[in-house]
Each structure stands twice: as C-alpha cells, then as structure tokens.
Amino acid sequence: MNQTSAGCRCLLLVIASLAGCTGGGSDQSAGIDRGGVRGGIAIGVVTGFGSVFVNGVRYSTDAATITVDGRAASETELALGQVVAVEAELAGSESSAVTIVYDSDVIGPVEAVDPLAGQLRVLGQVVQPSTETWWGGALQATELAGVVPGDWLRVSGLRDATDRLIATRIDLLPAGELRLRGIARDSDDTARTFRIGGQPIDYSAATLVSGFPDGAPRDGDLLRVTGSLGAAGELLADTLQRVAPLAAVEAGESAEIEGIITALLSPAEFLVGSVPVLVGAETKFEHGDAAALAVDRRVEVDGEFDADGRLRAREIEFEDRSTLRVEGTVSVKAGSRLTILGIPIEANGLTPLDAIQPGDCAKVGGYAAPDQPGLVIATRLEREDACGSAKLRGIVNSVAAPQFEMLGVTVVTDAATVFPDGSAADFFAAAPGQLVEAKGHFDGTVLLATEVEFKD
C-alpha cells in the first residue's frame, strides 16, 4: 500500500460536508449501474472491502494513497458506512483508486440523546441515525440505545438542507481532540467567531488559519476545525482550514456523487450539498423522475463537470428508499440471495455476503424491489457475532388483531407484547400502511412479538 503523497491535485467536492481529491479528467464514468470498470471521481458510502467498494463499485487499493482526517493511513482504518472520496483511474481491466480521502464530520462528546426523535447532539450538531447507519464497536449491538451524554463519538454522514447530519456511520471513541467539519454561519471578523450547526467557534487564538483569500472565514465557507471546549461551551479552535471551492474542478471530469438535495434552484438545476447539478433532456432517472426532485431527498448523480464547476447529470438515482430492516438467522443462501425470517433478500455487490452462511446471524437494511413483490433489495448487510431478538421493520399491509402482516411475515402479539406508543388497541387501529418495527422470536413461520412500535 502506498501511503505517501502521490502528488494528486486535491480539492473539495462540496456535498454539504464531503471532502475529496480529484485527478485528471478521465472519460470513464463512475456509473450508477454498478457494473464494468470505473474511473474519475466517486464520492459516497463505503459498502464493502476486498479492495474498497464505494456506492457498490469496487476500487483496487493496491497503489492508493489513503488519508484519514488529514493524515496518511492504511485501508484498515477505513470502515463500512464512512463517506469517502475516491480518485480512480483504469488499470487494465479494473478500476484502481489513486487516492481515497476520509474526513470525519464530527468527533466530540454527546451533549444530548432524544430517543423519541431518534436523534442525538454531538458538539452542537444534530445527528440523525437511520436504518442505513453503520454502528461501530460496542454500539453495534445497542445502536442509539447504548449512547449516553458524555460518550465520545465519531460521526460520518451527509448534511441535509437544515445542516442536520444524516449519519452513515457512528463510532464510540476514547475522549480526545475535538474535530468538526461543516459550513460557516454567522461569521464575525471582529470577535473572530462563527458557528457550524449549533456549535459556536472562537478562532481568536488559533495557531493555524489557512486557505482564506482575505484572512478570515465567510458565511458559506466549508471549514475544518480542531480544538478544545471553552468554559462557555464554545469550541476554541487550534486549527482552522478552508477547503478550496468547486470552481477548481476541470471541465470534462467525470464524477459520481452521493448526497442530499439542499436546494432547488430551477426546474433544471439543484444543489447536492453545495454542488450545482444540471438536469437536461439527456438525463436518465432511476426510481423516479424529474418531478420527484425535492429538498432533502437523497440521490446519487452520475455526470460530468462543465467549465463553471456544475455537474451535468447523465443519470440520477433516488436513494432514500431504504426503510426496511430484517435481522435474524440466515436460513438459505443461494448465490447472492439470502433468506432471513422467511424473506428473500438480494444482496448482490455487498461484500459481507462472502462471509455469511446459513445459520449465521445477519442484519439487513434495504427497500422493496419495485418489480418483484416480496423481495427486499439490500443496501447494507452485516454479519452479527451472536443472534439476539429477531427484528423486522416494514410497512404494515394487513391487520387482524392480535396479529398483522408486513413483508409477507405474520407478526403475532399477545398480552405480554409491549406497545411503547400506547395500547394494543391504539396500535391496531392506526397500523395499516404505517412503518412499524417488531422485535421478538421467529419460530420458522411467524414472528412472536415482544415489542412493536411505530417508526418515522
């Protein structure tokens, strides 16, 4: 593994909170179809290893320069769910990563946990986990329920239109240096302060301030900050760095970016984070059309940059459909298809599949196949060391108290079943068509529920 500088031209592809490194303009797309060879720029979530898979595409790491939070690193320091930027080129018949860049969005203490909203606040940032979130270490089994104020977390994710951080990975760390990345707001040159999200920042004593054309941050600048907490809860910056604007991208460079729509500028232009995306007659759509473009929708855009740093979209895929969840014992494995809790699951392109066998415990996040009723398309797959309660999250299709059906599985409740949202009668009256999560024991035919609750 080459861990030294390869002399690449680094820049930020501003997707609210994404940093990256680009190379020369390859004419090969990082494409959404998940097949073939890939070159150019890819920014998205790490979905597997054995090399590195980003947005479901495999990139060889044999000659890659890897940086993690600004320092040289190895592939072992990357993790599933991290948002990374890959500069790739063709090497024979495979895509070879030239550089891989990972920057944490926030590292710091948990200030508050809101179980009802399913949120937490870390260093002034509202963090929203989802079914797509990878939890590291001790949090893998407990997820949000295992987080308490004072815990030190590292979060990677995507920013939405309100600066909320939609977490793709959360890790529990020992307490250490604070780190924050995001868009500057309410900048004050006199006081030498600004904020990122809800976190006030004072850079009056910073030992390193770099990248600012006029010497100070401006609203809208994407910044990296490290430091410590002051007496009033402000972040006292030790280092403050501005990342170069997108205008540095060369015309003709291909890119595939994953992110959240933060603004609609016109019927033919929108922002993914701070990246302007152009829609034309040639643009193809997956799982929707141009009318489905809306603020806070998660998308993956494949295209080519023009001379003004705008990404001309060849293809746009809507990616915010992964609301389903299945956890339990794998009963059948046939090629890339698994059966868990009696549900067929297609897991093609997710590398943990190779390590999973019948009898193993697995956790799946995904969405319902639009053209094959009953099939779940997995967008994340994780092998569990031990099986706990079976878990199923999906849309309730039918109700016949004391049981209901979702994802083709009959869920049976009884007097011992806990309903956190109210009584059993309240649940069954409101359940049809709602997103529900059930935990319990799967007996091979039905899920015997110990707890049932509505999910947003």
pLDDT at 251 over 90: no
* Lowest-pLDDT range of 93-97, 159-163, 433-437: 93-97
pLDDT digits (tens, 9 = 90+) for 18-71: 433 333 333 333 334 444 335 688 899 998 887 888 877 889 898 899 999 989
pLDDT, residue 350, reads 73
CATH annotation of 179-242? 2.40.50
On whether the 390-454 domain is CATH 2.40.50.320, my answer is: yes
Name the burial class of residue 186, with classes exposed (0-12), middle (13-18) and buried (19+) by CB atoms within 10 angstroms of its CB.
exposed
pLDDT at 91: 64
- 86 φ, ψ (degrees, to nearest 5): -120, 130
* Predicted local confidence at residue 341, as pLDDT: 96
Q: Give the CATH architecture of domain 324-384.
A: Beta Barrel (2.40)
Return the percentage of the chain with pLDDT > 90, whole number: 60
Any idea which of 73-87, 236-250, 415-429 has the lowest mean pLDDT?
A: 236-250
Q: Given pLDDT bands bounded at 50, 70 and 90, which one contains residue 17?
A: very low
The pLDDT of residue 37 is 38
Reported as a single tens digit per residue, the pLDDT across 268-318 is 999 998 889 999 999 999 878 898 899 999 999 999 999 888 999 999 998
Task: Please provide the CATH number assigned to the domain covering 106-176.
Answer: 2.40.50.320
| Residue 354 pLDDT grade (very low, low, confident, very high; cuts 50, 70, 90) | confident
Return the higher-pLDDT residue of 374 and 404: 404
- Please check the confidence at residue 428 and state whether its pLDDT lies above 70: yes
Q: In this model, does residue 214 exceed pLDDT 70?
A: yes
Q: What is the mean pLDDT of the chain?
A: 86
Mean pLDDT of all residues in 215-241 = 93
Domain regions of the chain by residue span: 1-102+247-320, 106-176, 179-242, 324-384, 390-454
Q: How much is the average pLDDT of 382-389?
A: 85
